[in-house]
Structure 1
């Protein structure tokens, strides 16, 4: 145990070591930021969660995944999420759409709140009362709310139309960057993350199909992203270019 409800297995370390070694061989100039071995944000950095959903994995529940994102120029350029138990691979590239096992995916077309199924992740980094209040508001609005204990897969399922929205009051970058790119490339909307210093500090996460995103945003008090989600310094560079 790394902390309350925070599991670690030998496999987490082994998977991260393997991924880190392979990325270092292929892209020796790039940085690396992993859940288990750490690292530091850089202009070009691979952000890796070797097992998201470790509590499920430790109990032989086949709902866990490997999440890998590549951040460059202040934006998430690539995202990959793999559930080896179901042999499902989600991939996205900025501006080029999202796929599952090579086939294009799209967020759901749900518009009626009483037909929605949202997922909310729980984090002990935020007050329990906030989590309960958000869930209560969603239940009262008529939504179904569940928790699968893998935030990365929760985001992938929004991109794939299996869920209408995902929210968590605090996530680390390795848990969510790949999934946020998947959702946006699959036609969904998200909250800000990189522009809120998420790469260094983590932060709140929201992703949803557009028609019901406002309801999820109000319940969780997580704002929706107005434009492209850039790192703060990249926003400054972009603003300077527009002024020039």
Structure 2
């Protein structure tokens, strides 16, 4: 049995059960919306889905650590085996009935991504990767795009919901990219955006103010699909650094250069 295949099996099981819960809340329109902070939504569906995921992981791997969006406050990644769980990435989309939201589950060990699984709930698209084994969509191999010229590229991004400290320059680079690409898209779920990079739907992606459970699984997908994932400095601190750039190698580097032109050194470093 391939290394981490049992973990992937458990992640798929947990994501599938969580998806059933999420769809039931969605179809019955019976969820309650609360706020953790400004524009920071949490619903009954988030809490119920997370409870299901954590229960399944703990039953299978009782000694593992877990960092989950709705129940964790930890700001560093342990050396031990640690699961990163986002029960609904795209809660605002879910709450408004906009059909892009995902379950994201990752396993990190010795501070490296080992396994990642993302389920886009509405289309039931299962994206997964095991380190060194490639990236897959519904068990079919996927790869980043081969586009090298930015004028033929499509870029994904997101707008932070509660940290608007970089907004002025963020809007400037958005406008700048509109003149130099075929388009910029904002689906509203970073894990899905990164999966789109891995599958070649987007050629690149950038955002700030993200959390580890937003990117911990899908970042591995991009890497295993042949892409590059870094922080805004071009370094490796993209999990907790709250700044991420991803893409095929050429478009990733194009975005890094664009960021350097539009943000101060302090803003890039974070």
TM-score category of the 2 structures, normalised to the smaller one: 0.7 to 0.9
| Residue 217 of structure 2 is aligned to residue 178 of structure 1 | yes
Secondary structure of the structure 2 residue equivalent to 1:221: helix
Aligned to 1:107: 144
8 Å CA contact retained: 2:78, 2:110: no
Structure 2 spans left out of the alignment, 5+ residues = 1-34, 262-270
* C-alpha distance in 2 between matches for 1:191 and 1:202: 10
Matched, 1:131 2:170: yes
TM-score (norm 2): 0.77
1:140 corresponding residue in structure 2: 179
**1:131, 1:169 within 8 Å by CA — same for their partners in 2?**
no
User: How many residues are matched?
Assistant: 220
**1:2 matched to which residue of 2?**
36
Tell me whether 1:42 sits opposite 2:78 in the alignment.
yes
Q: Which runs of no fewer than 5 residues in structure 1 stay unpaired?
A: 223-244
The separation in 2 between residues aligned to 1:156 and 1:184, in whole angstroms, is 11
* Consecutive aligned runs of 4 or more in structure 1 exceeding 3 Å deviation: 192-195
- The answer to whether the 8 Å contact 2:204/2:255 transfers is yes
Deviations 1:31-55 (A, max 9, x none): 0000000154322110000000011
Tell whether the 8 Å contact from 2:100 to 2:121 is kept in structure 1 after alignment.
no
Q: Which residue, 60, 67, 70 being the options, matches 1:33?
A: 67
Alignment partner of 2:98: what SS?
Answer: coil
**Aligned 8 A contact 2:119 2:126 in 1:** yes
* Alpha-carbon distance, 1:220 to partner: 2.4
Task: Name which of 200, 203, 206 aligns with 2:242.
Answer: 203
Aligned CA-pair RMSD: 1.8
Higher mean alpha-carbon deviation, 157-166 vs 208-217, is at 208-217
